[in-house]
Chain A
Amino acid sequence: AQRVTQPEKLLSVFKGAPVELKCNYSYSGSPELFWYVQYSRQRLQLLLRHISRESIKGFTADLNKGETSFHLKKPFAQEEDSAMYYCALPDSNYQLIWGAGTKLIIKP
Chain B
Amino acid sequence: GAVVSQHPSWVICKSGTSVKIECRSLDFQATTMFWYRQFPKQSLMLMATSNEGSKATYEQGVEKDKFLINHASLTLSTLTVTSAHPEDSSFYICSARPVTGYSGELFFGEGSRLTVL
Contact = CB atoms under 8 A, between A and B. Distances in A.
Interface in A21-37: 32, 34
B43 A46 contact: no
A94 B43 contact: no
Interface residues of A, number: 21
A26 B65 CA distance: 33
B98 to A, nearest CB: 12
B96 to A, nearest CB: 12
Contact of A86 (B32, B43, B110): B43
A94 B109 contact: no
Contacts, number: 49
A45 interface: yes
Size class of the B contact interface (CB-based, 8 Å):
20 to 34
Contact of A100 (B43, B102, B109): B43
A95 B49 contact: yes
A75 to B, nearest CB: 26
Given A86-B44, A95-B34, A95-B49, A44 B104 contact: no
